[in-house]
Chains A and B, each alone.
Chain A
Amino acid sequence: MALLEVENLKVEFPTRKGVLTAVDSVSFSVEQGEILGVVGESGAGKSMTGAAVIGLLEPPGRIGGGQIRLDGKRIDNLPPSEMRKVRGRHIGAIFQDPLTSLNPLFTVGEQLVETIRTHLPMSAADARKRAIEWLAEVGIPAPDKRFDQYPHQFSGGMRQRVVIALALCAEPRLIIADEPTTALDVSVQAQIIALLKRVCRERNAAVILVTHDMGVIAETADRVAVMYAGRLAEIGPVAQVLQKPSHPYTAGLMGSIPRIGPRPDRLIQIEGSMPRLTDIPKGCAFNPRCPKVFANCHHNPARTAADRRWCGRLSALRRGDAMNAMPTSLKTADNRTLLSVKGLKKHFAMTKPFLNRLIEKEEPQSVKAVDGLDLDIPRGQTLSLVGESGCGKSTVARLIMGLSTPSGGNITFDGIDISRAPAGSPAAVRQRMQMIFQDPYASLNPRWRVRDIIAEPLRTYGLSGSREEERREVDRLLEFVGLNAKDGDKFPHEFSGGQRQRISIARAISTKPEFLVCDEPTSALDVSVQAQILNLMREMQRELGLTYLFISHDLAVVNFMSDWIGVMYLGRLVEVAPAAELFNNPQHPYTRLLLDTIPDLGMSKRDRTPAAGEVPNPISPPPGCHFNPRCPLANDRCRSEAPVLRAYANGGRVSCHAAEEGRGPAIVPAGMEHSTQTAP
């Protein structure tokens, strides 16, 4: 008998407009010790399903039908006091954000002990011993000291380890992990997933792993369930679902994920976006977006007898069908530099109040957010900056756009120095540079009509002409980014996230700029929508000859977008190289670490050893090369002397003593080999 059986689960939300069904006829089972992945885009109902199983649906949400059985016993209809005893003891949960999952006012030890003693008959002393064992088990160094510390004294990754210990300390047999790594840096994500996998395997605990990240599923899960609009689209063994998807939605989803490797001109695109709960289409919920739709899809909620296919039409959309749909156009070879950055610095003062300095005799401190950065971006190409949070990549974007003033260094745009007086630099230059922001919800004024939002830059620079001309221009822009001219009279809240990002793009290109700074433009979007936006940006580059500075933490996205990639670590550029070179032949150990964190969608089952450590506190970075404490190749020179960027034969530049001395993988010094591209 399966450990957990969910049968025809239905979750409802009573609202003023009637009862909304957030989860509908979902059935699955989880075996002892199995990892079941649940994937889907936001709003697919995957977290809701997890919450229903553990009995923590937020009111007014409620289970509207179906059964949930643990060990054959129904748990969906238990009274609250009985369900409480199941939680923690039989079913544990891990949530997304480790920073907010722990109570800040109690030590981690207190929180562990209270959990253990709630469920297991143990004396305080025994519980304490058990808690310390758990801290050691999840890889917390010096657990007996850490036991008495408060959550704020732990880093993000360490806190998520504590959360895992808390979820498992009463030895439950099922863990519901709801996006357990989404809030963490990429290098820490891999550590946490590996830990979760090991700890659960050792205890034969089953896991329901809810995530939007297909890569994590591919590496971790045994079986996977794909959800769409509150329904199961497909469920089956992970290799089968990911590599031979039966449902057109799964197929589209897999195709829309950018990958490492040869770079296609377009990603496969699913048109539209997930329907809102208020207007889920009749029949198969996916039918308005489905490329394989036929008449029956509009009537019957697709469900075949087989456990794994939920599509009415059994024909499968193969990955690659839509590939090469766009003709590849030749990029105009123009290597003249458009934007050049020399020795760029931005230091933020972290100085304490006067009296503190007087009493503690402390030197004034500063965070070197950007510390001596050199970059050149050739016209018509894309340079991407990657790095973990806090590495200074967004600060670079802000400095270039003149949103903050550099502490030192130069920025030249097409030969004009724009670094000295950002606010006062000639409007003619500013008009040629625009920016697309990360959050499409916060970057559009909610009280303005879309037409005014898009026309604002035109008006600012006096380009709008007559009202009629302005109207025509805005209509043209809206259609260019794939919206309807009629949409101009609506307000931003009437659009989905992807559509809003299209509006941001229309606004950014309204002044006909040559250069766009894109700061994580798709990180707030679902993958199918991300594919639409990335495709649009590539098209714009081809048609308008735009130059991009693209900022992202997602290496696969960067691979799809870039000609050049710069890797940043704690305010410094550690490596910059042509995109293909960087992926095929990374020089800097940190670049290799980052590449190693990319989950493998190809299911090669290669064994990744997650990188140890986390990004250090930027106020007091390690001396010498900032990366030395985490670097496997570090020696005494690395610990004392900061390396500088040196050119290498692959056309890139790297700042690493190990690479220079040949301690790392073999590389050819510059000049020994003919290179076709000049280093940026």
Chain B
Amino acid sequence: MFVFLVRRLFQAVMVMLAVAFIAFLMFRYLGDPVNNIVSQDATQEQREEVRQRLHLDDPMIMQYGRFVANAAQGDFGMSYRNSRPVSALLAERLPATAELVLVAALLSLVLGIPLGIYTALKPRGILSQGLQILSLIGISLPTFVTGILLILIFSVWLGWLPSFGRGEVIDIGWWSTGFLTLSGIKALILPSFMLCLFQLTLIMRLVRAEMMEVLRADYIKFAKARGLRNKTIHFRHALKNTLIPVVTIFGLQLGGLIAFAIITETVFQWPGMGALFIQAVNFTDVPVMAAYLVMVSLIFVIINTSVDLLYNVIDPRLRADPTRASGRGA
């Protein structure tokens, strides 16, 4: 287990260094950073002074090292556009995106797994067939279209839910949450549903396919032959085996949720990191883009490492050292 952790961490560090290198290249070589910082009518001396201050004349490897060292401390420099530290900008926007993604992820699990189980156990029922068709629509419609449709129905026609923004938020330390006010929760419903729709259908279809596969397995047949109750067979024996691949896919897709959040945040004008990133792209605000890149990669790496650890908890076969298993496993 210890070796496993060390190996995983080592891989994670390598990935992060590679990502940091790309971010650094963007920062350093996407246009001249000096031009982006000084005003248009700056003198040659002023430019030279900035160049000195930013150590832009040092060898590339040293600049990279400095970039990594700063990034590790959360220092990504100043935003070109707002002239504020990038880390402060990100910290301000993080809660909005985190809450949106969290709710969407929970929704997709809480709805997706039971629906998947239901359609697997009653594959020929009317409800299952209907859900299958609906999920096909959900998986094939672009999310911005469903987002706009949701706004049209629930905000414009029915007027039940707000069509943009986070509503009222309450600050707890540096974290601003929308969970504690009615308007905050109402504002969350449409965007999180739009964001989770793809996940939800994916998880439902995955659970369904896996569950049907597992139900054909020999150990399920043997469990039936032992006269176990259907409930035990379905929810104890089959479900646990079903969830192994679901955990992997969910982990990978959680990263996808953060990436897709850009679209959702744009459609609902949600003040999150995605919206910040779009802004940064519009104004070629390279430090913000670089920081966003590093940040999202970090989240991806953390999620995937946790998924691997979770695997170890679920599947006893991975806990054992394969070379020490008895019998003819090799």
Q: Using a CB–CB distance below 8 Å, which chain A residues touch chain B?
A: 54, 56, 84-89, 92-93, 95, 97, 100-107, 114-115, 118-119, 150, 152-156, 158, 163, 166-167, 170, 350, 352-353, 355-356, 359-360, 365, 367, 389-390, 614-615, 617-619
Contact = CB atoms under 8 A, between A and B. Distances in A.
Contacts of B218: 95, 97, 100-101
B326 A155 contact: yes
Interface string B143-155: 0000000000000
Contacts of B126: none
Interface string B163-185: 00000000000000000000000
Interface string B226-237: 111110100011
B155 to A, nearest CB: 46
Nearest to B8: A355
Nearest to A85: B227
B217 A100 contact: yes
A75 B10 CA distance: 61
A237 to B, nearest CB: 29
A118 B323 CA distance: 36
A116 to B, nearest CB: 10
A355 B320 CA distance: 18
Contact of B219 (A103, A170, A615): A103
Contacts of B236: 106, 114
B225 A102 contact: no
Contacts of B241: 103-105
Contacts of A85: 227
Contacts of B7: 353, 355-356
B317 to A, nearest CB: 5
A89 B227 contact: yes
A367 B320 contact: no
Contact of B223 (A97, A103, A355, A367): A103
Contacts of A56: 221, 224-225
Nearest to A348: B330
A153 B325 contact: yes
B55 interface: no
A156 B226 CA distance: 20
B266 to A, nearest CB: 42
B6 interface: yes
B227 A102 contact: no
Contacts of A617: 325-330
Nearest to A365: B323
A105 B311 CA distance: 12
Nearest to B11: A355
A108 to B, nearest CB: 11
Contacts of A150: 316-317, 320
Given A152-B316, A155-B328, A619 B323 contact: yes
Given A105-B315, A355-B10, A88 B227 contact: yes
Given A100-B219, A153-B325, A355-B3, A88 B330 contact: no
Contacts of A97: 218
A104 B329 CA distance: 14
Contact of A618 (B227, B326, B330): B330
Contacts, number: 126
A636 B197 CA distance: 70
CB-based closest 9 A-B pairs: A155-B327, A88-B227, A93-B225, A87-B227, A100-B218, A150-B316, A88-B226, A103-B219, A101-B222
B226 A104 contact: no
A9 B10 CA distance: 64
B243 to A, nearest CB: 9
Contacts of A618: 328, 330
Contacts of B225: 54, 56, 87-88, 92-93, 95, 167
B84 interface: no
Contacts of A115: 226-228
Nearest to B323: A619
Interface of B: 2-3, 6-7, 10, 217-219, 221-230, 232, 236-237, 240-241, 314-317, 320, 323, 325-330
A118 B226 contact: yes
A103 B323 contact: no
A152 B322 CA distance: 10
A217 B23 CA distance: 72
A614 B232 contact: no
Contacts of B3: 355-356, 359-360
Contact of A152 (B10, B229, B232, B317): B317
A118 B224 CA distance: 12
B229 A93 contact: no
Interface core residue of A56, A95, A105, A390 (most chain B CB under 10 Å): A105
B325 A355 contact: no
B55 to A, nearest CB: 34
B62 to A, nearest CB: 29
B326 A154 contact: yes
A564 B241 CA distance: 49
B315 A118 contact: no
Contacts of B320: 150, 152-153
27 contacts: A54-B225, A56-B221, A87-B226, A88-B228, A92-B226, A93-B222, A95-B221, A100-B218, A100-B219, A101-B219, A103-B219, A103-B223, A103-B237, A104-B219, A106-B236, A106-B237, A114-B228, A118-B227, A153-B326, A155-B326, A155-B328, A167-B225, A352-B323, A355-B6, A355-B10, A356-B3, A390-B328
Interface core residue of B227, B232, B241, B330 (most chain A CB under 10 Å): B227
B313 to A, nearest CB: 11
A634 B268 CA distance: 79
Contacts of B224: 56, 84, 87
Contacts of B230: 84
A295 to B, nearest CB: 44
Interface core residue of B240, B315, B328, B329 (most chain A CB under 10 Å): B328
A163 B222 contact: yes
Contact of B222 (A166, A170, A353): A166
Contacts of B226: 87-88, 92-93, 115, 118, 166-167, 170
Contact of B330 (A153, A158, A355, A619): A619
B324 to A, nearest CB: 9
Contacts of A87: 224-227
B298 to A, nearest CB: 22
Given A101-B218, A102-B222, A170 B315 contact: no
Nearest to A89: B227
Nearest to B243: A105
A390 B225 CA distance: 32
A104 B325 CA distance: 14
B328 A156 contact: yes
A84 B227 contact: yes
A480 to B, nearest CB: 40
Nearest to B216: A58
A109 to B, nearest CB: 13
A647 to B, nearest CB: 32
A167 B314 CA distance: 26
A54 B225 CA distance: 7
A499 B218 CA distance: 30
A514 to B, nearest CB: 36
A617 B325 CA distance: 9
A163 to B, nearest CB: 7
Nearest to A166: B226
B287 to A, nearest CB: 34
A87 B224 CA distance: 8
Contacts of A107: 316
A156 B325 CA distance: 12
A93 B223 CA distance: 10
B329 A152 contact: yes
Nearest to A112: B226
A497 B86 CA distance: 70
A350 B330 contact: yes
Contacts of A166: 222, 226
Contacts of A355: 3, 6-7, 10
A119 B227 CA distance: 8
Contacts of A353: 7
